Amino acid sequence: MRLFRSLTRAGCRLGSSHSIPLATLAVCLVVPSLRAQAPQDSDAAMHRFVAGLMAKMTLAEKIGQMSQIARHAPPVISHEESVRREQVGSFLFMRDPQEIDRLQHIAVEETRLHIPLVFGFDVVHGYRTIYPIPLAMAASWDPSVAEMAQHMAAREASAVGVRFAFGPMVDIARDARWGRIMEGAGEDPYLGSKMAAAEVIGFQGKKLGAPDSIMASVKHFAGYGATSGGRDYDESEISDNLLWNLYLPPFHAAEQAGAETFMAAYMNLNGVPASANAWLLNDVLRKQWGFKGFVVSDWETVPNLVTHGYAADAADAAARAVNAGVDMEMTSHDYLNYLEADVKSGKVSAATIDTAVRRILEAKYKLGLFQHPYAPEGAAERELVSPEQRHAAKLAAERTAVLLRNENGALPLKRDVRSIAVVGALADSKADTMGSWSLAGHYDDTVTILEGLRAKVGSSVEVRFARGVELERGNDSIFDPQFASPKPTLITQQQKDAAFAEAISTIKRSDVAVLVMGELQSMNGERASRESLDLPGDQERLLEAAVATGKPVVLVLLAGRPLTIPWASQHVPAILDAWYPGTEGGNAVADLLFGDANPGGKLPVTWPRSVGQEPLYYNPTLSQIPNDRDTMYWDGSNAPLYPFGYGLSYSKITVGGLKLSDEYLHAGGSLKATVTLHNESGVAGDQVVQLYVHQRAGLSARPVRELKGFERVTLQPGETRAVTIPVNAADLRYWSASDHGWHEGTGTFDVWVGDSSVATEHATFEEKP
């Protein structure tokens, strides 16, 4: 077998002096003949190759290609036997390179058709090296950071044989109670679209067949981010106006960026389950947008069609899903068990099966799996958590942090500090530095904030640690026990009181206190919605007691969503939102706190004062009393705690002098908005210039503001620079329910340019047909 593996990796070149068994020789001759028919040169060659292969396939073998089996799900038969019987086209959640290699060799060497497997994994924000969560990536307001991070993740994943990423998640989320808000780019379709395209390109590269490229699977199509009450898996009722103008644009951007696969969503969309929604999967995705790849279901969403009350039984569910356009079934076995009978009964046509299988085989062809089915030898050892990966992860964590408050220059910390109290259970938790969906990450690779600060200051500064309070979700997350936060060690009330007192004593004995607070990683992600957005547990009381000591206090937040911290926003001198920063998070936060890195991120989602404001977002339509919108609650303010696009810096960079290149914008054209940036400080830093528009009248009521351009710019101390952002007519198109069609905006437009969604630099222009 070793000889055969070396031969297949070398293309089965013969002429060796070794004696090759006849059976081995026969396969060795077949495999290169298949590969010879699969040159990566043209679509025509791909179509010929796939058509020739499908002509040899039985119906059962075709249905096998439509089945994806989970590593840890109870198998009907063993994984090896599934491969030998050609009853599986893909596996998910396998990350052992030896096991991946072994199963791939069975598929390529021991089956009749020698069709390679494709291995999938939830590569959400890194593979082994964990990068900041996707919501944090959006906070960079720099698509190149997201592209870089996903490219690095693709390098690691492909090195172990994983070529199918279940990402990016591009669901727009306006409700911070929804746990999966951490996996997307926030509330805005323009920012979300830019991030979606960047992530797809990062995963897939310029050419999908490159050895370090993996297929993106854009999820969850569509409307999952609008589940009722922010409750995971609940139904979504979305108007046509919001669906076309808000929720679908990032999916379209991902498709235009070349995404090879889409994943159907869990929930009902306007009463029809997304995994059997032919309007979504065929009419919109394929016919209107021209998508050519394949659609995979989400976890058991095919049998869940019965749960939804949409399908009568499992056989009906299989028929409805495949007829609607779901090509591959994830983890469940309704396709394997019932599709053959559905074809024979006429519920599903043979042509429908052929179409699904062709899409799957073409994706494998584009990946180059027919020519190079195995990961290069030694790739995993070279790539996983390499110095290059660590450097990229640290850079990403630095560029995604958002400085929310910095009164009287509390940050960066002074170099002459002699003692630091680091307080909070999250400060030394590796799991909670990595964040949810870090399934292939290793705790031992991860630098916590406590470790990062100690490494930063060395022996010259005493760093004292106290847990202070415990955090506990109260019930298991979807990932327990395979990826759980540390369990509480303080059990009795006496132990809890002693730990609280120790934390306050530690703060009093130190020059400055860094309190690391927020949410356990298990409080975010799938099946992790919250009915409160307050700091969990007894953290608020500890924070207030810390401030009451009179010592300088810095609050570092680790969380995957906005939190309601109105007291902190008024009383804590410095607040840094580090999100879940990943493997190098501790080192990045240490550099940010001491000023060796300058925070420049901006919020991709509005932060509320109270959970009762949710869903809260910056771009509603105007009401009857637009100037009083923030007073619509008689018992509190409706103004956000921090607006969309907000973020501070150690630099003071002003934005002013807005000028437009023309007073008119013609259909299909563009004009330029130019502002002057000036760094008034002695510190180099970044500013994110943001451009918003408002159409004063249209065929639909228009949002008060809409983001339509941005650029992150670095300025040296004292530097002045002009920054120009284009305003494209194409970006002003909108869908109107008045005639159920698309329109390029006309009439008068307001333009604001500044450093957040409440920018005041203003101008107007007229768009003419």
Nearest to 105 by CA among 121, 122, 124, 119: 119
Indicate whether 302 and 345 sit together in one domain. Answer: yes
Please, what sign has the CA dihedral across residues 177, 537, 534, 181?
A: negative
Indicate whether 74 and 207 sit together in one domain. Answer: yes
Establish whether the linkage from the previous residue to 604 is cis, with ω within 30° of 0.
no
Q: Write down the pLDDT at residue 41.
A: 63
For residue 642, what is the DSSP state?
Answer: B
Burial (0-12, 13-18, 19+ Cβ within 10 Å), 750: middle
Residue 473: half-sphere exposure toward Cβ, Cα within 13 Å: 23
Indicate whether 103 and 239 sit together in one domain. Answer: yes
Whether pLDDT at 577 is above 60:
yes
Indicate whether 273 and 138 sit together in one domain. Answer: yes
Indicate whether 376 and 403 sit together in one domain. Answer: no
| Type of residue numbered 372 | H
Indicate whether 239 and 300 sit together in one domain. Answer: yes
Indicate whether 372 and 480 sit together in one domain. Answer: no
Indicate whether 236 and 373 sit together in one domain. Answer: yes
Whether pLDDT at 335 is above 90:
yes
Indicate whether 189 and 318 sit together in one domain. Answer: yes
Number of domains within the chain: 3
CA 201/CA 764 separation, integer angstroms: 35
Which of residues 346, 380, 414 is at a domain's end? 380
pLDDT band for position 631 (cuts 50, 70, 90): confident
Structure tokens at 720: 């002045």
- CATH of residue 499's domain is 3.40.50.1700
Residue 640 belongs to some domain of the structure? no
What is the maximal distance between C-alpha atoms in the chain? 89
DSSP string, 414-482: PTT--EEEEESGGGG-HHHHH-SS-TT--GGGPPPHHHHHHHHHGGGSEEEEE--S----SS--TTTTT
| Per-residue pLDDT tens over the stretch 635-692 | 999 999 999 999 999 999 999 999 999 999 999 999 999 999 999 999 999 999 999 9
Burial (0-12, 13-18, 19+ Cβ within 10 Å), 648: buried
* Residue 722 three-state SS: strand
Residue 352 belongs to some domain of the structure? yes
CA 154/CA 133 separation, integer angstroms: 16
Residue 205 belongs to some domain of the structure? yes
Residue 41 belongs to some domain of the structure? no
Residue 36 belongs to some domain of the structure? no
pLDDT band for position 626 (cuts 50, 70, 90): confident
Residue 393 belongs to some domain of the structure? no
Which of residues 566, 582, 603 is at a domain's end? 603
| Per-residue pLDDT tens over the stretch 68-117 | 999 876 666 899 999 999 999 999 999 999 999 999 999 999 999 999 99
* Residue 376 three-state SS: coil
Pairing of strands 90-92, 741-744: unpaired
Indicate whether 425 and 364 sit together in one domain. Answer: no
* Higher-confidence position of 626 and 508: 508
Residue 40 belongs to some domain of the structure? no
Q: Write down the pLDDT at residue 491.
A: 81
Q: Write down the pLDDT at residue 127.
A: 98
The answer to whether 361 touches 115, Cβ cutoff 8 Å, is yes
Please, what sign has the CA dihedral across residues 279, 285, 291, 297?
A: negative
Tell me which residue range forms the domain holding 559. 399-603
Could you tell me which residues are beta bridge partners of residue 515? Answer: 423, 555
| Per-residue pLDDT tens over the stretch 755-765 | 999 999 999 99
Indicate whether 658 and 514 sit together in one domain. Answer: no
Average pLDDT, the chain: 93
CA distances (Å), origin 741, targets 70, 649, 735, 738, 744: 42, 43, 5, 8, 10
CA 596/CA 398 separation, integer angstroms: 10
| Per-residue pLDDT tens over the stretch 521-555 | 999 999 999 999 999 999 999 999 999 999 999 99
Beta strand ranges found along 122-214 (DSSP E)? 162-165
| Type of residue numbered 469 | V
Q: Write down the pLDDT at residue 481.
A: 62
- CATH of residue 730's domain is 2.60.40.10
| Per-residue pLDDT tens over the stretch 238-297 | 999 999 999 999 999 999 999 999 999 999 999 999 999 999 999 999 999 999 999 999
Nearest to 586 by CA among 387, 389, 390, 437: 390
pLDDT band for position 12 (cuts 50, 70, 90): very low
- CATH of residue 159's domain is 3.20.20.300
* Residue 694 three-state SS: strand
| Per-residue pLDDT tens over the stretch 426-464 | 999 999 999 999 999 999 999 999 999 999 999 999 999
Indicate whether 593 and 672 sit together in one domain. Answer: no
Q: Write down the pLDDT at residue 36.
A: 37
| Type of residue numbered 165 | A
Q: Write down the pLDDT at residue 480.
A: 60
Nearest to 325 by CA among 366, 293, 347, 362: 293
User: Chain centroid to CA 689: how far?
Assistant: 23
Residue 321 belongs to some domain of the structure? yes
Nearest to 294 by CA among 328, 332, 318, 320: 328
Q: Write down the pLDDT at residue 31.
A: 39
Which of residues 568, 603, 638 is at a domain's end? 603
| Per-residue pLDDT tens over the stretch 26-76 | 333 333 344 434 445 689 999 999 999 999 999 999 999 999 999 876 666
Active site residues: 298
The model's pTM is 0.94
